[in-house]
Amino acid sequence: MGAEIDAGLTPAEAAARLATDGPNELARAGQRSVLRIALGVLREPMLALLLLGGGAYLLLGSLTEALILLGFATFSIVVTVVQEARTEHVLEALRDLSAPRALVIRSGARLRIAGREVVCGDLIVLEQGDRIAADARLVEAHDLQADESLLTGESLPVSKIATVARADEPAPRSGGDGIPFLYSGSLVTRGSGIARVLATGPRSEIGRIGQSLAGLETEAPRLRRETTRIVGWCALGGGAVALLVVLLFGLLRGGWIEAVLAGIAIGMSMLPEEFPVVLTVFLAMGTWRIGKVGVLTRRAAAIETLGSATVLCTDKTGTLTENRMSIAALWLPSGETLALKPGLAVPDGFRALVDTAALASAEAPSDPMEIAIHDARGKATPLAEVHGKLVQAYALRPDLLAMSNIWDDGEELRLSAKGAPEAIAELCRLSEADHLAMKGPVEAMAERGIRVLAVATADPKDRNWAKGQQAYHYTLSGLVGLADPLRPSVPAAVAECRRAGIRVVMITGDHAATARAIATEAGIAAGDVLTGDDMAALDDAALAQRLKTVTVFARIMPEQKLRIVQAFKAAGEIVAMTGDGVNDAPSLKAAHIGVAMGQRGTDVAREAAAIVLLEDDFGAIVQAVRLGRRIYDNIRKAMAFIFAVHVPIAGLALIPLLFGLPLLFGPIHIALLEMVIDPVCALVFEAEDEEADIMTRPPRAPDEPLFSWQMIAWSVFQGGTTLVLLAALLFAETANRMPETELRALMFFALIAAVLALAFVNRSFSASLGQALLRPNPALRMVLLAVAAITGAILFIPAAQTLLKFAAIAWSDMALAGGLGILLLMVLEVGKVGLGRFLIGRGDQAPLFREGVA
Beta strands 123-126; 135-147: pairing state: unpaired
Question: Contact, 416 vs 359, CB < 8 A?
Answer: yes
* CA-based end-to-end distance of the chain: 74
Answer positive or negative: Cα dihedral of 334, 338, 343, 347.
Answer: negative
Q: What is the Cα–Cα distance from 765 to 772, expressed in whole angstroms?
A: 9
In sequence order, what are the residues at sequence separation of 6 or more whose Cβ sits closer than 8 angstroms to the Cβ of residue 85? 32, 34, 37
Question: Contact, 166 vs 176, CB < 8 A?
Answer: no
Q: What is the Cα–Cα distance from 588 to 601, expressed in whole angstroms?
A: 12
The one-letter code for the residue type at 277 is: V
Q: Which strand (E) or helix (H) includes residue 337?
A: strand 337-339
Question: Contact, 566 vs 560, CB < 8 A?
Answer: no
Answer positive or negative: Cα dihedral of 735, 738, 740, 743.
Answer: negative
Angstrom CA distances, 397 to 128, 169, 179, 203, 423, stand at 17, 21, 12, 30, 11
Phi, psi dihedrals of residue 512, rounded to the nearest 5°: -60, -45
Smallest CA-to-CA distance from 219 within 569, 550, 635, 464 is with 569
In this structure, what is the dihedral angle of CA atoms 339, 345, 348, 350, given to the nearest 10 degrees?
40
Smallest CA-to-CA distance from 220 within 148, 305, 138 is with 305
In sequence order, what are the residues at sequence separation of 6 or more whose Cβ sits closer than 8 angstroms to the Cβ of residue 135? 172, 181, 182, 183, 184, 197, 198, 199, 200, 203, 204, 205
Smallest CA-to-CA distance from 626 within 573, 696, 686 is with 696
Identified catalytic residue from 122, 130, 135, 315: 315
- Region of 75 (left: φ > 0; alpha: ψ -120 to 50; beta: rest) is alpha
Share of the chain residues as helix, strand and coil, in percent rounded to the nearest 5: 50, 15, 30
The one-letter code for the residue type at 293 is: V
Number of H helices, E strands in the chain: 31, 22
Smallest CA-to-CA distance from 435 within 451, 424, 448 is with 424
Crossing angle of the two packed helices 45-60 and 222-253, in degrees rounded to 10: 30
- Specify whether 315 is catalytic: yes
Active site residues: 315
